[in-house]
Amino acid sequence: MSTDAPDLSGFTGTVTFLGAGNMGGAVLGRLLAAGLPPEHARVTDLADRTRARWEEQGVSTGTDNPEAVRGASVVVLAVKPYLVADVLDEIADELGGDSIVVSLAAGVTLATLESHAGDGVPVVRVMPNTPALVGEGMFVVTAGRDCTAEQLEVVDTLLRACGQTEVVPESQQNAASGLSGSGPAYIFYVADALAEGGVHEGLPRDLAVRLAAQTILGAARMLVESDEPASTLREQVTSPGGSTAVALRLLDEGAVRYRMSAAVSAATRRAGELGA
Ligand SMILES: NC(=O)c1ccc[n+]([C@@H]2O[C@H](COP(=O)([O-])OP(=O)(O)OC[C@H]3O[C@@H](n4cnc5c(N)ncnc54)[C@H](OP(=O)(O)O)[C@@H]3O)[C@@H](O)[C@H]2O)c1
């Protein structure tokens, strides 16, 4: 799929968010930043503070889900996973026109989404991650059986305002959840450990935190912009007999590489259990 950030100022449809907390709010914030006219967005949320936040930005808000989805071109489900089926049951009578349902709910399958949305309603299952907040999200997307290529393109265009998109078969959604869905937490864990190491060696804590963050950002950008795999980039910064080689040897002795990949497997299994 395309990686260019879209300009949404000409978007003519309406995007309704059912739930605009952490994840829904991150996505909506980026859509508005990409030019989506606020009058083309609607929010329902039970939290007064959340509704007030979006009202201030010119988005109409409320608590009536069926009313909010009426005539919407895209309906983003961003409530907790255990609420998704109930919310779909509540709005099903208002769907069935041209509304595309986009679920951000971890683990909720297309079969569940489609059975509660109703016959013929186009549904897209998405696994997002929190860097969407800064426009660097990873959205792993699977289209349901009634979603056309054009409808998927509409969803892709919106999501690219918040980061990158990848389309996968649904059988890969749990693994994507284990990698990119949970992944920011692994990287924060690494950042924390790196900073702690710097502090241990005498760096002021705020400096150590900045060094760790910029190092991760720079390495990530090299990975994204380079054609080389991570293993080659790692070799290029590892002089024989040097300090980096000693450090990597220590990580290998602690099986850190194995543990990282096993962590992805554990999170993948757990995502499957939670989805079931
Ligand atoms: N946060 C993440 O890192 C992340 C990552 C991947 C996927 N997701 C998915 O994103 C979805 C939302 O998660 P979140 O972390 O953003 O949760 P959240 O911050 O709790 O946001 C959900 C919002 O929905 C509101 N809500 C509850 N019932 C509602 C209803 N019937 N109609 C409309 N709004 C309702 C909640 O209000 P109250 O708080 O007042 O109940 C809350 O403000 C989940 O399905 C999750 O699996 C999140």
Q: CA 273 → CA 88, 129, 270, distances in Å?
A: 22, 19, 5
Mean of per-residue pLDDT scores for the chain: 95
- With b for 16 or more beta-carbon neighbours within 10 A and e for fewer, the 205-228 pattern comes to eeebbeebeeeeeeeeeeeeeeee
Superfamily of domain 183-275: ProC C-terminal domain-like (1.10.3730.10)
* Dihedral-angle region of residue 241 (phi above 0 means left; psi in -120 to 50 means alpha; beta otherwise): left
**Residue 263 structure tokens:** 């962590």
The number of the ligand 1 atom at minimal distance from the alpha carbon of 23 is: 16
| Residue-wise pLDDT tens digits, 189-226 | 999 999 999 999 999 999 999 999 999 999 999 999 99
Distance separating alpha carbons of residues 271 and 108, to the nearest angstrom? 10
| Residue-wise pLDDT tens digits, 123-175 | 999 999 999 999 999 999 999 999 999 999 999 999 999 999 999 999 999 99
Give residue 262 CA to ligand 1 midpoint distance, Å: 28
CATH of span 15-170: 3.40.50.720
Residue 45: CB within 6 Å of ligand 1? yes
Give residue 80 CA to ligand 1 midpoint distance, Å: 4
Tell me the whole-structure pTM to 2 decimals: 0.94
Judge whether 42 and 67 are in contact, CB under 8 Å: no
The number of the ligand 1 atom at minimal distance from the alpha carbon of 22 is: 16
Judge whether 140 and 180 are in contact, CB under 8 Å: yes
